[in-house]
A and B are shown apart, each in its own frame.
Chain A
Amino acid sequence: MEQLANLAPYVLILPLCMFLILGLFGKKMCPKVSGIVGTTVFGVVSVISYYIALQYFFSGEFQVGDTYQQVTLFNMEWLRMNQDLVISIGFLLDPLSAIMLIVISTVSLMVHIYSMGYMHGEGGFQRFYAILSLFSFAMLGLVVATNIFQMYIFWELVGVSSFLLISFYYFKHSAVRAAKKAFIVTRFADMFFLIGILILSYYTRTFDFDKLTFINEGHVDAVFNSDLRTMTFLGFPVISIAMFLIFLGGAGKSAMFPLHIWLPDAMEGPTPASALIHAATMVVAGVYLVARLFPIYSFETPHVLQMISYIGAFTSIFAAIIACAQTDIKRVLAFSTISQIAYMMVALGVSGYGGVNGLGYTASMWHLFTHAMFKALLFMAAGAIIHAVHSNEMDAMGNLRKKLPITHITFLIACLAIAGIPPFSGFFSKDEILVAAFETNKWVFAVEYFVAGLTAFYMFRLYYRIFWFGEPEEGYEHEPHEAPLNMTFPLMFLAAVTVITGISWAFGKVSFTELISSDFTSYEIHTHWNIALPSIGAGVIGILIATFLYLEKTGRPNKAVSYIKKPYLWAYNKFYIDEIYLFVTNNIIFQRICQPIAWFDRHIIDGFMNLLSWVTNKASQETKEVQSGYVQQYAWVFIMGVITITLLSIYL
């Protein structure tokens, strides 16, 4: 405990220092040095966080019976709002944050290593590492937050580092636009998050998670008294409003419909960044947020939770359909990410609290973990491919399996994992989600079941298009070759993780339910084969269809498309959501609100001020005839003045 408390600050301080050092002095270092320094330091951070997480899980020190205790390793006052509300910066350790520590440090470390190869020779190499460090700092800060405001603080920092990474190629218009979009959309969602926090904290008089989520006799107690439960605002219970708004914040970061539009565009950033931020870590922040506040959702606002599950279900199928029609490999992966995160949301949405009821919760976290691994793997593999062929488009690829063997194998493993084929990790996590959904809500289950099939289809479509299908028509500019070791090592490492976690789960070595559950108390579950088998079936069918269509270069895909031309076009254009947004921002916000306001300001408000001066000047000019220069007129004015004043003051 002591030891951990001493170590914990370094988890945050080291990346921050790296950011400052690389940011300020990066220019003066040679790129290689900065990369190595950055990676090494992050390696240390990873080690520390692994140590903390493992100590937490396995030392037994933090367990009382089966239950893991929430511990605050340190907590320092950062800003005091009033007597009750204090923003602190601290380190909260519980299974949730421990898992996240592992995920983040693993993926982040891999990305650090990977980038040494991928970003080699790019301008702004040091900048890239600086921002990576900033991101790691922010993300770690986010997951260990002791209070919701700390979370918000790091939430924003994560957002900005995402912005910086997306706009890494700032000389490209598309990158800048994408970065802007990402930032503004998430910012928009953050506003709701903030308002949610404000409402919640106003009524509960605290920001702290341990008070907010304190469970007492089956209720989130202490801060949620009965007055609060009956309080309404505009006819809605305030708690529900607050929690829904907070969820909206999470929805923005986690790219839930309709706030998902930024994520595909965010692929304009360098691929390692996409792997880290837009696949594995940042985008799951929303899920993490909901999980963090799960007791409140579960006990106080179950209907919001239900809403979350519907939104998640819709998003997952929506994104999966779009993914089927995309040709940019990173976009396919992006939509796949959206779909998978929605999966996790669904899992949370259908979960209950405590024991087996909380299966969804566990599954969600489990899926978060596995998904982070294989999705990061997919992205990095995609990066390796892009590195080799210098294009994102599927049309520029094909038949790469011989040329990029390691990439091929690891990519295949990841695809199998995501498609839910045992014994890869994805199968188990996805299976639990389906089970949870099945037990709670059949409709959601049906949707998710279908999505599982779709996932398998589009992933294998991707896989075949890249590695089989036949070489592109115009051939390769130069022969694609395998990436260097510092790029392939992370691929292999993550593939190994994917395989090993899957296998060890299958053999019951590690049970996720022991580690994490909604009430942090371990429980036992078994694989539900009655659900698992059909889901494998769905995956297989998806794979088969993809094989049929894309294994060889044939006319089949086009033919298939011609059957469903309209829907295909819609899916290809992402259901025109972007266009709607564009319309709203350009035509409504800019043209209908900003321009008129600016016009109003210049012409009415400012015009009024100018009018005043104009009137004064005009009055001055117009009255000059009074001063006509004729002495007789002066006298006349004089005497009339006297008479007028007399009349006014005597007879009025």
Chain B
Amino acid sequence: MNHEISLVVVMTLVLLADLIIGDKNKKICQIASIGLFLAHTIVCFQWSNSYSPTEAFSGMYLTSEIHMFVKNMLNIGTVLVFLYAYYWNTHENESHAGEFYFLTLSTLLGMYLMISSGNFLLFYIGLETASIPMATLVALNKKREESAEAAAKYILTAAFSSGVMIFGISMLYATCGTLYFDGVSESFSETPLTIMGLIFFIAGIGFKISLVPFHLWTADTYQGAPTSVTAYLSVISKGAAAFAFMCILMKAFSNYPDVWKEILWWIIVVTITVGNLFAIRQKNLKRFLAFSSISQAGYIMLGVIAGSDQGMASLVFYTLIYMFTNLAAFGIISSIEDQTGKVSMDDYDGLYDTNPKLAVVMMLAMFSLGGIPPFAGFFSKFFIFMAAAEQGQYLLVFLALLNTIISLYYYLLVVKAMFIKKSDNPIPTIKIDSMSKVGLIICTICILALGFISPLYTYISERSFGF
């Protein structure tokens, strides 16, 4: 509970800060917000080791060390997003900077609840808390038409998908008689109606993780949203949803794994393939990363389908590394977009000649996303495939691996643009602000080092659970 309470306190303080000093000195207000959240992040680390009840509110709220780890992870990711957003907030989004922090934190709270929920109701509320304010975040960039369009698409699809999801939950309720996960787990039986409920439910959460065919909003929203929000959406929100999804499957549907494994199998194959196929043709980098993140979501689901403790460990590990990697990419994109307004892949031609450091970081991110050793992405991919292979899903792993070839192709396209192509009109040498710099440095270090720090994985895997 401490995470949530602390976060609520921080949120309140941020809101108050914005109210009291927001009009006079926006910078201080922003730094205060970031600082507060940073404090929260650090404090949370303390708790995750000392205090870990497993249940609160009589099973409404569940937690364990792995939950706390994931929450900490999300905190770190959010801090990074804040760092990147700082420039945007001080320049373009000055008038709504306070709201930005507050809304982001409230979605984070939603994710906390989603992860820790022990009941479909709390899960639903968490999910909505994570997605409705997100829509306003997406719409925050009021200068650009796309922002509003993206937000409209997002909120409508979100509403629709939450409708589908609660319809599914209602069916589960009708068949299982309870909304508590453990209760569902006990009374779950393999009947068509239950399966249908489950599928409707998966669709709802699949929307959040952007699994195919529930993914179509993703690209549009990512492209239209302010880059920091896109980063947040693609990493934090997705990671939290994936972990929550796995938790629910572990807790509520562990009795009949074959039922959802089969469904998931096809969803994974389609997700990875479609994500990759669509990514190939993208020219806008944000949109490109959107599709890339769809296929990454498919890889993350490999951990879910494994359903073992190893699956969970590798899922968390994957998400962690994916977070740093993708945030590195988004850090570059947002820096460049904020300062020059360029997001097209063609604009990145010859980036290495003008901005070598940015290009190298971007390249590391791309390689890591593509699963190239010795960068962290390789390790996470290896482990998640291993987790799936452990359950005998060799064919699935193989298909996923074939898809990594396609994904490598388009990641290399970015590398090619930056390093190999020459441009008549390259991006001028830009100086990125110190906040983003810190963020990028952290991400780069993590990309380079996380794979080699094996105790981290051991830590995660000791705390993971499966069935």
Give A residues with C-beta under 8 Å from B: 613, 616-617, 619-621, 623-624, 626-627, 629, 631, 633-635, 637-642, 645-646, 648-651
A621 to B282, CA, bound (A): 10
Q: Within the complex, which residue of A624, A641, A646, A649 is in contact with B213, where a contact is CB–CB below 8 Å? A: A641
User: Which residues of chain B from 228 to 252 have any CB-CB distance to chain A below 8 Å in the complex?
Assistant: none
**Given A634-B153, A635-B157, A645-B266, A627–B219 Cβ distance below 8 Å?**
yes
**Given A634-B153, A634-B157, A642–B203 Cβ distance below 8 Å?**
yes
User: Do residues B216 and A638 form an inter-chain contact, with CB atoms below 8 A?
Assistant: yes
A587 to B322, CA, bound (A): 59
9-residue interface stretch from B42-50, B58-66, B193-201? B193-201
User: Do residues B280 and A631 form an inter-chain contact, with CB atoms below 8 A?
Assistant: no
User: Do residues A646 and B199 form an inter-chain contact, with CB atoms below 8 A?
Assistant: yes
Nearest residue in A to B287 (C-beta to C-beta)? A627
A638 to B217, CA, bound (A): 10
Given A623-B278, A631-B217, A633-B216, 10 other A-B contacts at CB below 8 A?
Answer: A626-B216, A627-B216, A631-B153, A638-B157, A638-B207, A638-B213, A641-B203, A648-B266, A649-B195, A650-B195
Nearest residue in B to A631 (C-beta to C-beta)? B153
Residue numbers in B under 8 Å from A631 (CB-CB) = 152-153, 156-157, 217
Nearest residue in A to B410 (C-beta to C-beta)? A620
Nearest residue in B to A650 (C-beta to C-beta)? B192
User: Which residues of chain B from 271 to 330 have any CB-CB distance to chain A below 8 Å in the complex?
Assistant: 274, 277-278, 280-281
User: Do residues A637 and B213 form an inter-chain contact, with CB atoms below 8 A?
Assistant: yes
Query: Counting CB contacts under 8 A, is B367 at the interface?
Result: no
**Given A620-B278, A638-B157, A645–B406 Cβ distance below 8 Å?**
no
Residue numbers in B under 8 Å from A648 (CB-CB) = 266
Distance from A640 Cβ to chain B, minimum over Cβ atoms (Å):
7
**Given A639-B164, A641-B214, A649–B157 Cβ distance below 8 Å?**
no
Can you list the 8 inter-chain pairs with the closest CB atoms, starting with the nearest? A641-B213, A634-B216, A620-B280, A650-B192, A642-B203, A620-B277, A620-B281, A631-B153
A620 to B410, CA, bound (A): 12
User: Do residues A638 and B152 form an inter-chain contact, with CB atoms below 8 A?
Assistant: no
Q: Within the complex, which residue of B157, B199, B216, B262 is in contact with A642, where a contact is CB–CB below 8 Å? A: B199
User: Do residues A624 and B281 form an inter-chain contact, with CB atoms below 8 A?
Assistant: yes
Distance from B333 Cβ to chain A, minimum over Cβ atoms (Å):
20
Distance from B82 Cβ to chain A, minimum over Cβ atoms (Å):
30
Residue numbers in A under 8 Å from B195 (CB-CB) = 646, 649-650
User: Do residues B203 and A649 form an inter-chain contact, with CB atoms below 8 A?
Assistant: no
Query: Counting CB contacts under 8 A, is B337 at the interface?
Result: no
**Given A626-B216, A645-B266, A650-B195, A638–B278 Cβ distance below 8 Å?**
no
A623 to B203, CA, bound (A): 22
Residue numbers in A under 8 Å from B267 (CB-CB) = 645
Residue numbers in B under 8 Å from A637 (CB-CB) = 213, 216
Residue numbers in A under 8 Å from B161 (CB-CB) = 638
User: Do residues A616 and B213 form an inter-chain contact, with CB atoms below 8 A?
Assistant: no
Q: Within the complex, which residue of B152, B200, B214, B262 is in contact with A649, where a contact is CB–CB below 8 Å? A: B262
Query: Counting CB contacts under 8 A, is B382 at the interface?
Result: no
User: Do residues A619 and B157 form an inter-chain contact, with CB atoms below 8 A?
Assistant: no
Residue numbers in B under 8 Å from A640 (CB-CB) = 213
A620 to B259, CA, bound (A): 31
A126 to B212, CA, bound (A): 76
Residue numbers in A under 8 Å from B216 (CB-CB) = 626-627, 633-634, 637-638
A645 to B198, CA, bound (A): 11
Query: Counting CB contacts under 8 A, is B20 at the interface?
Result: no
Query: Counting CB contacts under 8 A, is B449 at the interface?
Result: no
A634 to B155, CA, bound (A): 13
Secondary structure class of chain A's binding surface, majority of residues: helix
Residue numbers in B under 8 Å from A627 (CB-CB) = 216, 219-220, 278
Query: Can you list, as one digit per residue, whether each of B201-219 has a CB less than 8 Å from chain A (1) or not (0)?
Result: 0010001000011101101
**How extensive is the interface on chain B, given as a class?**
20 to 34
Residue numbers in A under 8 Å from B51 (CB-CB) = none
User: Do residues A616 and B263 form an inter-chain contact, with CB atoms below 8 A?
Assistant: no
Distance from B403 Cβ to chain A, minimum over Cβ atoms (Å):
10
Residue numbers in B under 8 Å from A641 (CB-CB) = 203, 212-214
User: Do residues A638 and B277 form an inter-chain contact, with CB atoms below 8 A?
Assistant: no
User: Which residues of chain B from 318 to 362 have any CB-CB distance to chain A below 8 Å in the complex?
Assistant: none
Q: Within the complex, which residue of A613, A623, A649 is in contact with B277, where a contact is CB–CB below 8 Å? A: A623
Distance from B26 Cβ to chain A, minimum over Cβ atoms (Å):
34
Residue numbers in B under 8 Å from A616 (CB-CB) = 277, 280, 406, 409
Query: Counting CB contacts under 8 A, is B160 at the interface?
Result: yes
Residue numbers in A under 8 Å from B213 (CB-CB) = 637-638, 640-641
A627 to B267, CA, bound (A): 18
Nearest residue in B to A632 (C-beta to C-beta)? B156
User: Which residues of chain B from 136 to 188 have any CB-CB distance to chain A below 8 Å in the complex?
Assistant: 152-153, 156-157, 160-161, 164
Residue numbers in B under 8 Å from A645 (CB-CB) = 199, 203, 263, 266-267
Distance from A181 Cβ to chain B, minimum over Cβ atoms (Å):
46
A645 to B164, CA, bound (A): 14
A407 to B409, CA, bound (A): 76
A640 to B212, CA, bound (A): 12
Nearest residue in A to B192 (C-beta to C-beta)? A650
Distance from A611 Cβ to chain B, minimum over Cβ atoms (Å):
15
Residue numbers in A under 8 Å from B266 (CB-CB) = 645, 648
Nearest residue in A to B155 (C-beta to C-beta)? A631
User: Do residues A634 and B217 form an inter-chain contact, with CB atoms below 8 A?
Assistant: yes
A1 to B280, CA, bound (A): 80
Residue numbers in A under 8 Å from B280 (CB-CB) = 616-617, 620
Most chain A CB within a 10 A radius of its CB, from B160, B199, B203, B212 = B199
User: Do residues A650 and B203 form an inter-chain contact, with CB atoms below 8 A?
Assistant: no
Nearest residue in B to A617 (C-beta to C-beta)? B280
User: Do residues A621 and B262 form an inter-chain contact, with CB atoms below 8 A?
Assistant: no
A646 to B266, CA, bound (A): 12
Residue numbers in B under 8 Å from A639 (CB-CB) = 164
Residue numbers in A under 8 Å from B409 (CB-CB) = 613, 616
Of the A-B pairs whose beta carbons lie under 8 Å apart in the complex, a sample of 10, sorted by A's number, is: A616-B277, A620-B280, A633-B216, A634-B216, A634-B217, A638-B160, A640-B213, A641-B214, A645-B267, A646-B199
A619 to B263, CA, bound (A): 24
A624 to B280, CA, bound (A): 11
**Given A638-B157, A642-B200, A629–B220 Cβ distance below 8 Å?**
yes
Residue numbers in B under 8 Å from A626 (CB-CB) = 216
Nearest residue in A to B406 (C-beta to C-beta)? A616
A638 to B406, CA, bound (A): 25
Q: Within the complex, which residue of B164, B262, B263, B281 is in contact with A638, where a contact is CB–CB below 8 Å? A: B164
Residue numbers in A under 8 Å from B263 (CB-CB) = 645, 649
A342 to B200, CA, bound (A): 91
Nearest residue in B to A629 (C-beta to C-beta)? B220
A139 to B213, CA, bound (A): 77
Residue numbers in B under 8 Å from A642 (CB-CB) = 164, 199-200, 203
Residue numbers in A under 8 Å from B200 (CB-CB) = 642, 646
User: Do residues A635 and B160 form an inter-chain contact, with CB atoms below 8 A?
Assistant: yes
Residue numbers in A under 8 Å from B281 (CB-CB) = 617, 620-621, 624
A160 to B255, CA, bound (A): 76
Distance from B404 Cβ to chain A, minimum over Cβ atoms (Å):
13
Distance from A284 Cβ to chain B, minimum over Cβ atoms (Å):
60
A640 to B203, CA, bound (A): 11
A646 to B212, CA, bound (A): 15
Nearest residue in A to B279 (C-beta to C-beta)? A620
Nearest residue in B to A626 (C-beta to C-beta)? B216
Nearest residue in B to A613 (C-beta to C-beta)? B409
Most chain A CB within a 10 A radius of its CB, from B212, B216, B281 = B216
A619 to B196, CA, bound (A): 31
Nearest residue in A to B280 (C-beta to C-beta)? A620
A633 to B101, CA, bound (A): 33
Residue numbers in B under 8 Å from A629 (CB-CB) = 220
A629 to B217, CA, bound (A): 9
Distance from B399 Cβ to chain A, minimum over Cβ atoms (Å):
14
Nearest residue in B to A621 (C-beta to C-beta)? B281
Nearest residue in B to A623 (C-beta to C-beta)? B277
Nearest residue in B to A643 (C-beta to C-beta)? B199
A646 to B197, CA, bound (A): 9
Distance from B240 Cβ to chain A, minimum over Cβ atoms (Å):
21
